[in-house]
Amino acid sequence: MKIVVDAMGGDYAPTAIVSGVVDAVEEFDVNVILVGREDEVKAELSKHNFNKARIDLLHAPDVVGMHEPATVTLRKKKLSSISVGINLLKRDPSCDAFISAGNTGAVVAAATINLGMLEGVERPAIGLVIPTLKRFAFLIDVGANADPKPQHLMQSALMARVYAKEVLGIPNPAVGLINIGEEASKGTGFEKETYKLMEKRVANFIGNIEGNEIFSGKADCIICDGFVGNIIIKISEGLMESAAAVLKREIKKAPLAILGAMLMKPRLNHIKKLADYSEYGGAPLLGVNGLVMISHGRSSPKAVKNAIRATMREIEHNINTVMVSEISR
């Protein structure tokens, strides 16, 4: 397996990216091509000992900033690590996938334009593996398409089922549609139409699920538009951070509580690990004609390594081929 990795993407690039890649080639049977500014990436690589046969380097002089507007930037920076990396994946049949922790909008745009769409899929969607009270769930779309049509959500649901089955190993994934009530008649015209389409076409569709059921484990695949999905993951992050901040503040007010927190620490750390997205790898960009994985902008070396592991599972299970055959049925 050969994976192309954007060395310049994310808040801690290239340091964290290179470090994660070195760990990955050490631990897994995978080769990596790092794409980015040659001198900077070389300087990072020189800090590590690793099997030189496993990591290659491809120079890309431009870097897309994390907050630059995607489409403008892509036109101006044709030699960015994102564009060069995506093009390498497209042209070189020995390359299996592309991973970036960079500007999400730019990755989505570059992948959509250069790789094109999978047969039967009209729009890309970003999925995310989230922890639930039972096991894991696959939430899609978390931000590729803020204004989709009902059939786009239906296509995402079909792709999500393949992902949950093949990559997460869930035998017959239950699919739920995010809505503001259980009944098919709830929500706006958009949700009602999506419900009807999914009822007809998606196996094991369990109907609407409400906001409070997302983390309950009721559904294995949770379908929503990219606007709502973005709000869901950000509010979850924000709420857990706020809760942790309040917890710390309150504990400090009482010496006995400080002692209590010390005694609880190993369990609290375990929970923190359970809730840590970086444990589960990145967020696959589904629907494009090629395997593309988006890693969190705040990616640590561990997150990069886990993104590579998750991508290897996608390659192994040949998910895009399975998706196309599922959608064409």
| Residues of this chain that bind a copy of itself (CB under 8 A) | 69, 132-133, 143, 146-147, 178, 180, 183, 185, 187-189, 210-216, 226-228, 230-243, 245-247, 250-251, 253-254, 256-257, 259-268, 270-271, 274-275
Which two tokens mark 261? 């927190």
Is the previous residue joined to 148 through a cis bond, with omega within 30 degrees of 0? Answer: no
Query: Which lies closer to a copy of itself via its Cβ, residue 37 or residue 296?
Result: 296
Question: How far is the C-alpha of 308 from the C-alpha of 281, rounded, in Å?
Answer: 7
Question: How far is the C-alpha of 69 from the C-alpha of 234, rounded, in Å?
Answer: 20
Query: Which lies closer to a copy of itself via its Cβ, residue 143 or residue 173?
Result: 143
User: Least separation, in Å, of the C-beta of 273 and a copy of itself?
Assistant: 11
User: Least separation, in Å, of the C-beta of 47 and a copy of itself?
Assistant: 33
Tell me the Ramachandran region of residue 97: left when phi exceeds 0, alpha when psi lies from -120 to 50, beta otherwise. Answer: beta
Q: Which residues contact 233 (CB under 8 A, 6 or more apart)?
A: 128, 130, 139, 142
Asked if residue 32 lies in contact with residue 21, where contact means CB atoms within 8 angstroms, the answer is yes
Which two tokens mark 96? 């299996």
Task: Find residue 288's DSSP bridge partners.
Answer: 117
User: Least separation, in Å, of the C-beta of 264 and a copy of itself?
Assistant: 4
Query: Which lies closer to a copy of itself via its Cβ, residue 203 or residue 257?
Result: 257
Query: Which lies closer to a copy of itself via its Cβ, residue 210 or residue 326?
Result: 210
User: Least separation, in Å, of the C-beta of 227 and a copy of itself?
Assistant: 6
Question: What single letter denotes the amino acid at residue 45?
Answer: L
Which two tokens mark 59? 């120079």
User: Least separation, in Å, of the C-beta of 173 and a copy of itself?
Assistant: 20
User: Least separation, in Å, of the C-beta of 215 and a copy of itself?
Assistant: 4
12 three-state secondary structure: coil
Query: Which lies closer to a copy of itself via its Cβ, residue 44 or residue 68?
Result: 68
Q: Which residue in 163, 82, 179 sits closest to 121, CA to CA?
A: 163
Query: Which lies closer to a copy of itself via its Cβ, residue 23 or residue 68?
Result: 68
